[in-house]
A and B are shown apart, each in its own frame.
Chain A
Amino acid sequence: MSYITKSPWIIHYDGSSCNGCDIEVLACLTPLYDLERFGIVNTGNPKHADVFLVTGGINEQSREVVKNTYDQMPDPKVVVAIGICATTGGVFRECYNIMGGVDKVIPVDVYVPGCAARPESIIDGVVRALGILEEKRTKMTEKGGK
């Protein structure tokens, strides 16, 4: 197992969420759920992060930011779409200003639906993302080896 799964640092971005999911994400960091048990730190800086948590659907304003933030993260990296809005656009998907889920802009690895997504499922989503991160890491070393 590589070290990346032991120390996944996250960055959290609010696309256009109602803040429900954001509060749940932050709740994960509280003593009750204590994400730091898994070495997870909320860095708030794409250059340091391995996991990108996005809440809320994507609109014209946030499109660029999500893309830019994703681009600035060094490989290997995974994206977790948190909440139904981030997954598909949710109840807002028909809105004139909403493009849809996060995967309209960047590749998403794990979808965590829910309105709002519960901390347990968020943690579960992140842990699944770690598996994918591990895979990506292996692929990267293979490629680098060649």
Chain B
Amino acid sequence: MELLVFLILFPALAALLFCILPNGRLRDTIVVLVSAVIIAVTLYLFVLFAGAGTVYFDIESGMISQIMTGLEVIISAGLLYLAAKYRQYLIAGLVVIQLGVVLYAESLINETAALNNLFIDPFSIIMAMIIGIIGSLICVYSVGYMRDYHAHHEGMPDKRRWFFALLFVFLAAMFGVVFSNNLFWLFFFWEVTTLCSFLLIGYSWDEEARKNAFWALLLNLLGGLAFAFTFVWIGLTDPSGGLVMMDTLLAAGPAVAMIPAALIGFAGLTKAAQMPFSSWLVGAMVAPTPVSALLHSSTMVKAGVYMIVRFAPIYNVTMVGYMISLVGGVTFLLASGIAISQSNAKKVLAYSTIANLGLVVACAGIGSYAAVWAAILLIVFHAIAKSLLFLSVGTVEHKIGSRNIEDMTGLLGRLPAVTVMMIIGIAGMFLAPFGMLISKWAALVAFLDAQYGFILVLLLAFGSAVTVFFWTKWLGKLIEVAWNPKPVEAKISNHEYSALVPLTVLMVAVCIGFPLLSSYLVVPYVFGIYGMAATLGQANMTIMVMMVFMVLIMPLSLLYFRKDRKILPHYMGGLSSTPDMHFKGSIGVQRPVALGNYYLADYFGEKRLSNIGNGFCIAFIAMLMITVILGVIA
């Protein structure tokens, strides 16, 4: 129990320290130390609880709950102030309503019955490892990155103290989310993540950042409101407060828990940036890159899918679950499609995150044991690959001064180390033997066994084809040759390396070792709920691992192919070209060769597909809400 409390409190206390410490080597060292401690404790947590199943911890809730309520009021007041200052009346309204709803609900529920406020089970362990390891590595990375960031953005007020404080508060809140069994507590941490993401997105506090930050806040408050209504419902049906415990609620089954599950599902959809709420995550890329990495991989959006996956057993074979699945499925297809038309690397990553979360949501909405198995694996693979990608894009951006994929031509030759890591990350996102593909395989199996799953199969089939397109063309850009590359400042800070390298190793390790991950953590969790669990099958495991090794061995062939080859010039329609690829164009003018990728904007344009997606998803969510309302009336 101490471990859990430590993981929640330690980052929070460290954050307090960072508020005071000035910029400098001392702070940087302490950031690294704190991160190291978090990683170590997370690993210890894993060792301690990996085989222990679900463990509940009995903590007196009275005092702590009051503190939380107090903090909530303070946070609300702060938000109200900001909203009033920047004339965001909608947000102000939502904050007031939400606070009112929560306070009303608290008055309904007699919380003294609440006992097992904290808990840990294999799924929590997985999430804690994602938060603890990946989140901490991102914090380490930010030390180097933020130094460069402020060097690149002179004139911007240096608020790095707040920045590091917020990062660690964020981690603390995420630990809180995954360890809380008391939904009130969970809700408190949930709102803290919303607040942190709002402040971090608005870090630079220029016009655009502010706008996007408020937009993110607005959408997440909408989800928070849905979450808050859960308590009202619980308070009205069961004033004894037993259902506030997540395990009791989940054990009560769909008959009782359907409405809270739907409301929390809605909250999860907003937080996981599913269509039509996806725009906040896309806007969030104005923040410094480590923030994007944090939001996309280990925190925030993962809180959204975490809740939906938690409630997956309730969704199994229900209308509500199916609607959530459809939202996820449509988001997967269309967000992947939009990624084709984007040349901004961070935007491509953002849409790919939205798409992959869509897949997780689709699996969770199906809620069968195979689907949950797939969903959890997806979360793991996505967290690692995406953090690696964001961080490497961030480093590259500082080095080449652009985040446009077209400017990354020949990056493999210009920044070999970082590019290799980026390539591993991209491969992890879509190529066969690597992570995501296993999950896609599992998702497909799960959809096929589900009722009316064939619609999701269709969405998945088209979506994965689209995924292949935009990732491969990015890879292609990286390995092309740059003829007259701009000189690159090759020195990359140690802090950045010390995050990138472990993530790369982790990526490869998870690809090879996922059978262990599956059998030690995912299967026990799924088995604990459903009494059965999906596996990949021995033969398929062997094939997958074989393929990973084949891909890893392949580059050795370069040793052979390097020898006695004659190098021919490029074919330019018979005209000669210079080594830096200029050719004689019409009327004898020397022109440079310029190669660009297809973006197919007429077909996969952002606006067009967003509109379609939002339309569909709003319809599905409306149906979800109608189900809820009908349920309340009944």
Contact = CB atoms under 8 A, between A and B. Distances in A.
Interface string B564-577: 00101101101110
16 contacts: A13-B574, A46-B571, A64-B576, A65-B574, A65-B575, A68-B572, A68-B575, A68-B576, A69-B574, A71-B568, A71-B569, A72-B568, A72-B569, A72-B571, A74-B566, A74-B568
A45 interface: yes
Nearest to B564: A144
A47 interface: yes
Nearest to A70: B574
Contact of A64 (B566, B569, B571, B575): B575
Nearest to B568: A72
Interface in A30-85: 45-47, 64-69, 71-72, 74
Contacts of A71: 568-569
Contacts of B572: 68
Interface in B530-572: 566, 568-569, 571-572
A10 to B, nearest CB: 15
Interface string A115-134: 00000000000000000000
B574 A68 contact: yes
User: Which 10 pairs from chain A and chain B are nearest by CB?
Assistant: A65-B574, A68-B576, A69-B574, A68-B574, A72-B568, A72-B571, A64-B576, A47-B571, A65-B575, A72-B569
A45 B568 CA distance: 13
Contacts of A74: 566, 568
A47 B571 CA distance: 8
Contacts of B569: 68, 71-72
Contacts of A67: 576
Contacts of B571: 45-47, 72
Interface of B: 566, 568-569, 571-572, 574-576
A126 B574 CA distance: 22
A62 to B, nearest CB: 9
A66 B573 CA distance: 11
A91 B57 CA distance: 102
Contacts of A46: 571, 574
Interface of A: 13, 45-47, 64-69, 71-72, 74
Nearest to B569: A72
B578 to A, nearest CB: 12
A68 B568 CA distance: 10
Contacts of B566: 74
Nearest to A62: B574
Contacts of B576: 64, 67-68
A68 to B, nearest CB: 5
Of listed B566, B568, B571, B574, residue having the most chain A CB within 10 A: B574
A65 B576 CA distance: 7
Nearest to A11: B574
A66 B574 CA distance: 7
A74 B569 CA distance: 11
A66 B568 CA distance: 15
A47 B575 contact: no
Nearest to A64: B576
A73 B568 CA distance: 8
A66 B569 CA distance: 14
A47 B576 CA distance: 14
A62 B566 CA distance: 25
Nearest to A45: B571
A67 B575 CA distance: 9
Contacts of A47: 568, 571
Nearest to B572: A68
B588 to A, nearest CB: 10
Given A47-B568, A66-B574, 15 more contacts: A13-B574, A46-B571, A64-B574, A64-B575, A64-B576, A65-B574, A68-B572, A68-B574, A68-B576, A69-B574, A71-B568, A72-B568, A72-B569, A72-B571, A74-B566
A45 B573 CA distance: 9
Nearest to A68: B576
Contacts of A66: 574
A45 B574 CA distance: 9
A17 B575 CA distance: 18
Contacts of A69: 574
B127 to A, nearest CB: 53
A72 B575 CA distance: 11
A45 B570 CA distance: 11
Nearest to B584: A64
Nearest to A69: B574
Select the residue from A67, A71, A72 with max chain B CB neighbours within 10 A: A72
Contacts of B575: 64-65, 68
Contacts of B568: 47, 71-72, 74
Nearest to B570: A72
Nearest to A13: B574
Contacts of A65: 574-575
Contacts of A13: 574
Nearest to B574: A65
A44 to B, nearest CB: 11
Nearest to A75: B566
A144 to B, nearest CB: 9
A47 B566 CA distance: 12
A69 B571 CA distance: 8
A112 B572 CA distance: 28
A46 B572 CA distance: 11
A141 B299 CA distance: 63
B276 to A, nearest CB: 50
B207 to A, nearest CB: 53
A53 to B, nearest CB: 14
A19 to B, nearest CB: 18
B585 to A, nearest CB: 14
B577 to A, nearest CB: 9
A14 to B, nearest CB: 11
Contacts of B574: 13, 46, 64-66, 68-69
A138 B208 CA distance: 70
Nearest to A66: B574
Nearest to A47: B571
A66 to B, nearest CB: 8
A83 B501 CA distance: 64
Nearest to B573: A65
A48 B88 CA distance: 66
A68 B576 CA distance: 6
A114 B240 CA distance: 106
A14 B126 CA distance: 68
A87 B393 CA distance: 58
A34 to B, nearest CB: 28
Residue in A13, A66, A68, A71 whose Cβ sees the most chain B Cβ within 10 Å? A68
